[in-house]
Amino acid sequence: MLRRIARYSAPFTLIVPAALAWLGGCGGADVTVAEMDDATPPAFSAPDAEPDAIAMGFTAYCPSDRCPPGHTTCPNSQFLCDTDLLTDPYNCGECGNACRSSVVGGNEDYACVDGRCVMACKEQDALDCDGVPDNGCETHPSSDDHCGLCGNKCPADKPCINRGLADYGCGCRAGELYCASANLIPCVDPENDDAHCGACDNACPPEGDGSEAPPPNMYFGCYDGQCGTLKCNGGWGDCDTVRDNGCEQLLLDDDNCGMCANKCPDGQQCRLLTPFLIPTCMCPEGQTFCGACNGGVCTGFCADLVNDPRNCGACSAACEVTVPQASEACVYGRCERSCRNGWGDCNGNRDDGCETHVAADPKNCGGCGIVCDGIAGQACVDGQCMVEPCDVIQDAGGPTR
């Protein structure tokens, strides 16, 4: 007869739906998994009730060595059914069909999705406008024929421009002026840009026409497209609106942080946020200032030392892992290692990481020490020992045990 998962040596029978035929759960030797053909509630019976249970229409389940749909055993497989053809980039759709590898610094990412190798362009870097995967993401989003997105063709008088932070568009925004000589971003505001006041390269002399010296912390700059307007030097503000004393307020004050009258909340201080050195109120409750102070001016950033993996327990104390199949997270200010999904550290050696493939290893199926039926050749798939109805195995020509 077929070798069932277990016999009725326990004081009860576990009844489950037939949909569990492909699921695991062969965790003990004293339970028979069966199905009721009607809506009769679970019954508890004595060990000698097995013949009557089968006669009542229960279905016995046996260990299975057959792979469920989507899984197979490839020539380079370590375990039975350990290859997922739907997601494995080295065996995508069929054994040996490897997807192209993503190159560090390249424009493309490759993955196996539903058994097909799929290419995706890295965001903001490139576009795949010809639909040919062999040449990758061949188009840069600054192309006049594909400005920002495929098919967005710019007219001859409005070339494709990076307006800042990978915002590609045909020509400058309304009110802006295209100046090729402008630093970094070629679109400028001609109404207020001191270097391109009213026209490209029309720089305003900071001393004005020389008829008068500017007040403290002020210079003559561009306003409404004309030079000669008094403006505050960077980092200073005219908070009392008194011209004679110029821009008297350094905008690193807790009551004037970045602009006049911008008061920091209680417990926060005005500091320069790296890397752009922007005056910012730091730090909100639950975060710590990471930086340095020099002459009363503090520069740095805020970090949550309890949960931030880049600043775990202390500023710049990063959680890093160099062993296989493991990751680290910051938990209550300490770096804690955990195994990636489908892997386990069964030998207790931290130096070799999570060495056991618990998603496929029949000796550690779903967890360390969970053993599938080795005599029956039972497969482990996705951390579950495989079973199916005993009569299905027999009809398929499977071994009787």
SS (H, E, C) 359-399: CCCCCCCCCCCCCCCCCCCCCEECCEECEEEHHHHHHCCCC
Cβ count within 10 A of residue 176 = 18
In terms of domains, do 174 and 286 share one?
yes
Residues 297, 310, single domain; the answer is: no
Structure tokens at 100: 């192209």
Residues 187 and 215 grouped into a single domain:
yes
274/388 same-domain check = no
Domains in the chain, number = 3
Q: Is 260 in a helix, a strand, or coil?
A: coil
Are 76 and 195 found together in one domain?
no
**315 burial via Cβ count (<10 Å: 0-12, 13-18, 19+):** middle
| Alpha-carbon dihedral sign for residues 210, 213, 219, 220 | negative
Domain shared by 287 and 223, yes or no: yes
Furthest-apart CA atoms within the chain: distance in Å: 113
Does residue 91 lie in a domain region? no
Q: Are 378 and 329 in the same domain?
A: no
278 within domain boundaries: yes
Instruction: Tell whether 56 is covered by a domain.
Output: yes
Clarify whether residues 185 and 291 are in a common domain.
yes
Domain of residue 288: give its range: 170-303
User: Same structural domain for residues 327 and 214?
Assistant: no
Asked whether residue 177 falls in the same domain as residue 297, the answer is: yes
Q: Within this chain, do residues 225 and 328 fall inside the same structural domain, yes or no?
A: no
The pLDDT score that the predictor gives to residue 26 is: 42
What type of residue sits at position 216?
P
Indicate whether 288 belongs to any domain: yes
Task: Give CA angle at 320 (317, 325), nearest 5°.
Answer: 160
Task: Give pTM, 2 decimals.
Answer: 0.63
Whether residue 391 lies inside any domain: the answer is yes
Alpha carbon distance 163, 13 (integer Å) = 70
* 319 within domain boundaries: yes
Tell me: cis bond preceding 385? Omega within 30 of 0 counts: no
Q: Coil, strand or helix: which one is 193?
A: coil
- Each residue's pLDDT, cut to its tens digit, for the chain (401 residues) gives 344 443 333 332 333 333 333 444 444 333 334 444 444 443 333 344 455 555 556 778 899 999 999 999 999 999 999 999 999 999 999 999 999 887 777 888 899 999 999 999 987 778 999 988 888 899 999 999 999 999 999 998 888 988 877 889 999 999 999 998 887 788 999 999 999 999 999 999 999 998 899 999 999 999 999 999 999 999 999 999 998 999 999 999 999 999 999 999 999 999 999 999 999 999 999 999 999 999 889 999 999 999 999 999 999 999 998 899 999 999 999 999 999 999 999 999 989 999 999 999 999 999 999 999 999 999 999 999 999 998 766 566 654 43
Of 122, 121, 115, nearest to 90 by C-alpha is 115
Radius of gyration of the chain (CA): 35
Query: Which two tokens mark 53?
Result: 């249970």
Residues 315 and 202 in one domain: no
Assess if residue 147 is contained within a domain.
no
DSSP 8-state class, residue 67: P
In a domain, 152, yes or no: no
